[in-house]
Amino acid sequence: MAEWAERLTGVRGVLLDISGVLCDSSASGATTIAGSVEAVARLKRSPLKVRFCTNESQKSLRELVGVLQQLGFDISEEEVTAPAPATCQILKERGLRPHLLIHEGVRSEFDDIDTSNPNCVVIADAGEAFSYQNMNRAFQVLMELENPVLISLGKGRYYKETSGLMLDVGGYMKALEYACGIKAEVVGKPSPEFFKSALQAIGLEAHQAIMIGDDIVGDVGGAQQCGMRALQVRTGKFRPRC
């Protein structure tokens, strides 16, 4: 206990991943991970600042928060840093008109975005929409651009649902990078800018916060590269040698 107390000295806030830490998703809904509702409640009763930091890109922010509230979590939309809203802000600021290769569940986030005559591609965890036809169309859009821009909502390798491990957006992002000879811009973990935006929302510096997640690369590695401390839970996608 003394060792842990020393490691956590100066911590004033916690960034919490959602999928694999608070709950596991499935085609029929979501289930809480044992003890997670109570853990969030205890954190919120403590002096620590709490922010939820997720790469979820199959649900809109409103739907995601609604699901978590139904599961019993004390959470609001204002407490969540998610990639779709952040991407929309970037698109508006830079005047980008995306070709969207995304899941239908998150499409409503882009309702106010001009998608005519695309000058970039936005890719997310599109699930069954990752067909050859759809991937090839995204490839064609990028190859037709003089200065191709590919924006990826996260770059995870895989995630866990109740039915097992599921391939994430990262593999498809890498395929487009390779085919087009470009480098994607990642909005989401492990992007330093994404972590910084979450920290700014709770008014803390990196050394004052700890990230808790199930992804050793996106959650733990990304947080540590930003100067944060990080802890990997043994739930979700956790694998002893991965």
Shared domain check, 105 and 46: no
Confidence grade of residue 200 (pLDDT, cut at 50, 70, 90): very high
Q: In this model, does residue 197 exceed pLDDT 90?
A: yes
Judge if 105 and 15 occupy the same domain.
no
Residue 188: CB atoms within 10 A of its CB come to 29
Task: Assess if residue 144 is contained within a domain.
Answer: yes
Q: Are 188 and 106 in contact (CB under 8 A)?
A: no
Residue 28 has pLDDT above 90, yes or no: no
The answer to whether the beta carbons of residues 158 and 168 sit under 8 Å apart is yes
- Are residues 78 and 99 located together in one domain of the fold? no
- Give yes or no: residues 28 and 61 share one domain: yes
240 inside domain: no
- Map 6-60 to HEC letters: HHCCCCCEEEECCECCCEEEECCEEEECCCHHHHHHHHHHCCCEEEEECCCCCCC
- 32 pLDDT exceeds 90? yes
Q: Which residues of 137-150 are buried (b: 16+ CB within 10 A; e: fewer)?
A: ebbebbeebeebbb
Same domain, 67 and 120: no
Same domain, 66 and 21: yes
pLDDT (0 to 100) of residue 121: 98
**Do 143 and 209 have their domain in common?**
no
Q: Say if residue 120's pLDDT is above 80.
A: yes
In a domain, 239, yes or no: no
Query: Do residues 172 and 206 share a domain?
Result: no
Reported confidence tier of residue 117, pLDDT bands at 50, 70, 90: very high
Which residues have CB under 8 Å from 33's CB, separation 6+? 20, 21, 22, 23, 24, 235, 236
pLDDT of residue 7: 74
Count CB atoms within 10 A of the CB of residue 134: 16
Number of domains in the chain: 2
**207 and 140 assigned to the same domain:** no
27 pLDDT band (50/70/90 cuts)?
low
CATH number of the domain to which 171 belongs: 3.40.50.1000
d(Cα 120, Cα 88) in Å, to the nearest integer? 13
pLDDT of residue 163: 86
Q: Is residue 173 part of a domain?
A: yes
CB 124 within 8 A of CB 57: yes
> Could you tell me if residue 226 is inside a domain?
yes
Instruction: Check pLDDT > 80 for residue 26.
Output: no
What range does the domain containing 38 cover?
2-82+189-232
241 part of a folded domain? no
Q: Is the pLDDT of residue 219 over 80?
A: yes
Structure confidence at residue 5 as a pLDDT band (50, 70, 90): low
- pLDDT tens digits along 132-149: 999 999 999 999 999 999
Q: Are residues 90 and 50 in the same domain?
A: no
Task: Say yes or no: 75 and 193 in one domain.
Answer: yes
Q: Which residues fall within 8 angstroms of residue 92, CB to CB, at 6 or more apart?
A: 113
Q: What average pLDDT does the structure give for the chain?
A: 94
Cα angle, residue 143 at apex, residues 138 and 144 outer, rounded to 5°: 100
Q: Is residue 237 part of a domain?
A: no
* Nearest in space to 99 (alpha carbons), one of 124, 67, 73, 132: 124
Q: Whole-structure pTM over 0.85, yes or no?
A: yes
Structure-model confidence comparison of residues 10 and 174, the more confident one: 174
Give the distance, in angstroms, between the CA of residue 122 and the centroid of all CA atoms in the same chain: 14
| For residue 1, pLDDT beyond 80 | no
* Across 49-76, average pLDDT: 97
